[in-house]
Structure 1
Amino acid sequence: MSAMAGAATQERGQAAAQASPSGESDKRRQILEGARQVFMASGFDGASMGEIAKTANVSKGTLYVYFDSKEALFEALTTEAKAGLAENLFRLDEGDPDVRAVLTRLGTSYLTMMARPEHVSIIRMVIGACEKFPRFGQAFYEAGPACGVGRLKVYIDAQVAAGRLAATDTDLAAKHFLQLCQAGMLTRLLFNAGAAPDEDEIRHRVAEAVRVFYAGYGPNAAR
């Protein structure tokens, strides 16, 4: 083992031994924030672990204690960001009988978050990397879109059971509602083909999404 490799190994061991649970969490967040900045600026292929360590203000030895490769770091960054978004947005009370109000709140929060520049940038990064690393796309999808749809499905299931919505394929109904809300908006933003929606556009989009959703899935919808 070279002197340089030995020093790096020793540094990793020291960092792992000294990290308390709280300190480890803080350091990990620090690294993820540094990685986010570098990946946003350079993309997956253009980023390097050295540049990430420098931006995060940690040594490369410390960086490798937490993430053993650029791929592992990228996957953690993108999936944790998406999972946190899904968890925060899709907190739905199955017992809330005011379905229109619940969907309106969800749709408004959903579009507001989807339109944020940093969120659009993360999606672009994953799309750019998942052809080379398909698991990135799979992990991102499962942590975000699939999780959100699953949580909305549980709410819709409860409303169908209570007679507030018509019996239907509730997984597809959840997907329909979210697609009705964004209806081309995300495509526009991904291609940088227009500005992010303002409050009036979001309000209009959500109101129309709820209206169309009820036309298809309301208790009196034609079957």
Structure 2
Amino acid sequence: MTKAMTIHSAPTSHLSGDGGELPKRQEIIEGARQVFRAAGFDGASMAQIARAAGVSKGTLYVYFASKEALFEALVVQDRRKAAEAMFQVDEGESDVRTLLTRLGVSFVTIMVRPDHIALIRMVMAAAEKFPGVGRVFFETGPCFGMARLAAILEKRVEDGSLAISGDIELAASQFFALCQGKLVKPLLFGIGEAPTTEEIRATVDSAVEVFMKAYGA
């Protein structure tokens, strides 16, 4: 069974009526994104972020109490968008291999994007000094993705498409690991270039084959 998740979200006082980001808040987040990428978490300052966003420091602090809070908001927003892009499941999609292949390709495509690789590096650099940042990234990224996929897999167990008798979240994490193959880790260390669409598809096809041999009904 999947576990309950605690997902951080943006403060509702800075959201528009439809739940989206207020324009000014979004401008600050985009300015922060530029500065964090250029200077890293430690090298970025609130003054630099204010200049990049085109706001005063006073306005910046109205929306975010600290650099850590701003970075956390950026992480939450990016993870939320990634989840929305990846987990668009057609309930009428009956073939489990097709479903897993589509999810796997979407997952790896997001993982190898330069902006995502840069975000992972920033989080890892900041997490030692500010463990809360690492926790937020983990909860809204890997942990949320694992729980979401586990829920999908659980439905496929119930309809007889899969036979997972043990920990379904473990099976979900195994699937994600298989899909990454040898494509993601080198990029984290600045080695090589992002894989082609064909390379991603070949790795995911292999992952689905191995996963189905282990858990196919």
Structure 1 residue 70 corresponds to structure 2 residue 67: yes
CA positional deviation for 1:170: 1.2
Counterpart AA for 1:109: S
Whose helix fraction is larger, Structure 1's or Structure 2's?
A: 1
Give, in whole Å, the separation in 2 of the partners of 1:58 and 1:114.
Answer: 32
Counterpart AA for 2:174: H
Give, in whole Å, the separation in 1 of the partners of 2:92 and 2:131.
Answer: 38
Structure 1's 20 and 195: CA in aligned 2 closer, same or farther, altered over 3 A? closer
CA positional deviation for 1:21: 4.2
Structure 1 residue 128 corresponds to structure 2 residue 125: yes
CA positional deviation for 1:53: 0.4
Give, in whole Å, the separation in 2 of the partners of 1:206 and 1:53.
Answer: 42
Residue 183 of structure 2 is matched in structure 1 by 185
CA RMSD of aligned residues (A): 1.8
Asked whether the equivalents of residues 30 and 56 of structure 1 are also in contact (C-alpha less than 8 Å), the reply is yes
Asked whether the equivalents of residues 94 and 154 of structure 1 are also in contact (C-alpha less than 8 Å), the reply is no
CA positional deviation for 1:84: 1.9
Structure 1's 163 and 182: CA in aligned 2 closer, same or farther, altered over 3 A? same
Structure 2 alignment gaps of length 5 or more: 1-13
Give, in whole Å, the separation in 2 of the partners of 1:47 and 1:119.
Answer: 18
Residue 175 of structure 1 is matched in structure 2 by 173
Asked whether the equivalents of residues 80 and 143 of structure 1 are also in contact (C-alpha less than 8 Å), the reply is no
Counting aligned pairs with the same residue, the percent is 53
Q: Once structures 1 and 2 are overlaid, which stretch shifts more, 116-125 or 177-186?
A: 177-186
How many pairs were matched up? 201
Alignment of 1:34-73 (within 5 A): 34-73=31-70
Structure 1 residue 81 corresponds to structure 2 residue 87: no
> TM-score, with normalisation over the residues of structure 2?
0.88
> TM-score, with normalisation over the residues of structure 1?
0.85
Give, in whole Å, the separation in 2 of the partners of 1:74 and 1:134.
Answer: 12
Q: Which has the higher contact order (CA 8 A, sep 6+)?
A: 2
Larger Rg: 1
